[in-house]
């Protein structure tokens, strides 16, 4: 049996802007994991997860041996990975085989509610890596990320892929996305998956860079207990942009300035400047929420950050906001006990999360 784990993620800065090709964001991989177990099968394959309930998803091949015929309710990201890996396998002349997948996740609570730690990205990355090992495709880590992004944009065209980068490479990452519409169009045009993976022009705008972790800032994560839909919120912001609700050029410039300042601070080991950049990033997101009329920084997330600020730390929402998690960078001088007490008083759950260490170079 093959077992592959992938970590969850948290956005630190650059949310919403990162969906635009070439716009940067900073993310961190965290030590909560989703694991895919793969075992060879015959005649049909299954995908089983507690999210499906008692019945597994069953899949078969159609007559040409490549397409997937799905029965029951599909787990879209997993099936998208299987579909693309089947195409790549066929391109390379690798014989088809059936397999069963079982998915176990630490990225939600005991009741199944998600923490907003990137479960869709983690299952996509882990499935790619498991199938790479199963079929002996020999993908580099970067190619595994690329294949995971191609699978993702078939399901969620606006997804930036930043969460996939964090889950693939670990540690602190600065990330900019390629033009996903262009990638999806090439897939739809029938371009071979293997050719697309090595087509530098198709991946223009993709930038992956490791960042130095802050030396004396402690990462704290709080969960507000209100799950949010990233795809829905991103779509709503984009609709507001098309309606002229805010100046996107100004927003993108402000977001880039914050990410650049955070990157420079981390490179220089200046933790005070890193905390200041996080505060600036919070301001950018709050102004976006005000301009669009969307509750990106909810009351719970506002309280989470304000409690941290009062205790001498810097905090903000993480990711699309609207609920889920907020993050805090706390210096040694911050009163962490006061933060914990303040969060508990407002029903904000502290998640005992640390950074998942980096795993190899971004070009490996």
Tens of pLDDT, residue by residue, the chain (364 residues): 999 999 999 999 999 999 999 999 999 999 999 999 999 998 888 888 876 566 677 887 775 554 455 543 447 899 999 999 999 999 999 999 999 999 988 877 666 667 788 888 999 999 999 999 999 999 999 999 999 999 999 999 989 999 999 999 999 999 999 999 999 999 999 999 999 999 999 999 999 999 999 989 999 999 998 877 788 888 898 899 898 888 999 999 999 999 999 999 999 999 999 999 999 999 999 999 999 999 999 999 999 999 999 999 999 999 988 878 999 999 999 999 999 999 999 999 999 999 998 877 767 6
CB atoms within 10 A of CB 82: 22
Is residue 293 within 8 A of residue 251, CB to CB? The reply is no
Is residue 152 within 8 A of residue 265, CB to CB? The reply is no
Is residue 98 within 8 A of residue 140, CB to CB? The reply is no
Q: How far apart are CA 175 and CA 172, in angstroms?
A: 10
The residue behind tokens 């070009």 is 363
Pick from 358, 338, 336, 324: which is nearest to 220 by CA?
336
Query: For residue 123, with 0-12 CB atoms within 10 Å meaning exposed, 13-18 middle and 19 or more buried, which class applies?
Result: buried
Residue 364: the pLDDT is 65
What is the pTM (predicted TM-score) of this model?
A: 0.92
Residue 151: the pLDDT is 97
| Sheet of 325-330, strands arranged across | 314-317, 325-330, 218-223, 349-351
- Helices 141-155 and 76-91 sit at what angle, rounded to 10 degrees? 130
Q: How far apart are CA 209 and CA 142, in angstroms?
A: 12
DSSP letter for each residue of 301-312 = HHHHHHHHHHTT
CB atoms within 10 A of CB 53: 10
Residue 274: the pLDDT is 97
List beta partners, residue 2: 38
> For 72-218, where are the alpha helices, taking DSSP H only?
76-91, 119-135, 141-155, 162-169, 180-188, 193-197
Residue 66: the pLDDT is 45
Is residue 272 within 8 A of residue 197, CB to CB? The reply is no
The residue behind tokens 């992956």 is 208
Structure tokens that stand for 32 in this block: 């909560």
Residue 60: the pLDDT is 78
Q: DSSP class of residue 318?
A: -
Question: Please, what are the domains in the chain?
Answer: 2-210 (3.30.230.10), 214-351 (3.30.70.890)
DSSP letter for each residue of 12-69 = EE-TTGGGSTT-EEEEEEEEEEEEEEEEEESS-EEEE-GGGTTSPEEEEE-TTSSSEE
Q: How far apart are CA 145 and CA 186, in angstroms?
A: 17
Pick from 358, 351, 360: which is nearest to 29 by CA?
358
């Amino acid at each position: 049996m093959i077992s592959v784990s992938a970590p969850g993620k948290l956005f630190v800065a650059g949310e919403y802007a990162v969906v635009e090709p070439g716009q940067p964001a900073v993310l961190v991989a965290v030590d909560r994991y989703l694991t895919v177990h793969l075992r060879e099968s015959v005649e049909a394959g299954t995908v089983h997860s507690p999210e499906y309930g008692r019945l597994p998803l069953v899949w078969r091949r159609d007559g040409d041996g490549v397409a997937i015929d799905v029965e029951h309710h599909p787990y879209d990201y997993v099936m998208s990975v299987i579909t693309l890996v089947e195409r790549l396998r066929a391109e390379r002349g690798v014989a088809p085989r059936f397999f069963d997948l079982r998915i176990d996740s630490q990225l939600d609570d005991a009741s199944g509610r998600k923490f907003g730690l990137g479960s869709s990205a983690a299952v996509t990355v882990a499935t790619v890596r498991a199938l790479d090992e199963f079929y002996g495709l020999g993908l580099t880590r970067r190619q595994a990320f690329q294949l995971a992004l191609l699978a993702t944009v078939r399901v969620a065209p606006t997804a930036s892929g930043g969460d996939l980068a964090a889950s693939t490479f670990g540690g602190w990452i600065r990330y900019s996305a390629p033009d996903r519409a262009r990638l999806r169009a090439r897939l739809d045009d029938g371009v071979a998956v293997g050719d697309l993976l090595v087509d530098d022009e198709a991946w223009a705008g993709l930038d992956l860079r490791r960042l130095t972790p802050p030396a004396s800032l402690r990462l704290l994560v709080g969960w507000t207990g209100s799950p949010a839909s990233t795809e829905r919120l991103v779509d709503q912001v984009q609709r507001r942009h098309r309606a002229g609700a805010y100046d996107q050029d100004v927003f993108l410039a402000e977001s880039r300035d914050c990410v650049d300042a955070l990157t420079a601070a981390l490179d220089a080991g200046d933790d005070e400047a890193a905390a200041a950049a996080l505060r600036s990033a919070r301001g950018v997101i709050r102004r976006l929420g005000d301009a669009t009329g969307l509750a990106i920084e909810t009351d719970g997330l506002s309280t989470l950050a304000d409690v941290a600020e009062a205790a001498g730390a810097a905090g903000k929402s993480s990711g699309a906001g609207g609920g889920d998690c907020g993050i805090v960078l706390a210096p040694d001088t911050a009163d962490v006990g006061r933060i914990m007490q303040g969060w508990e008083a407002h029903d904000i759950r502290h998640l005992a999360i640390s950074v998942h260490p980096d795993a190899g170079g971004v070009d490996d």
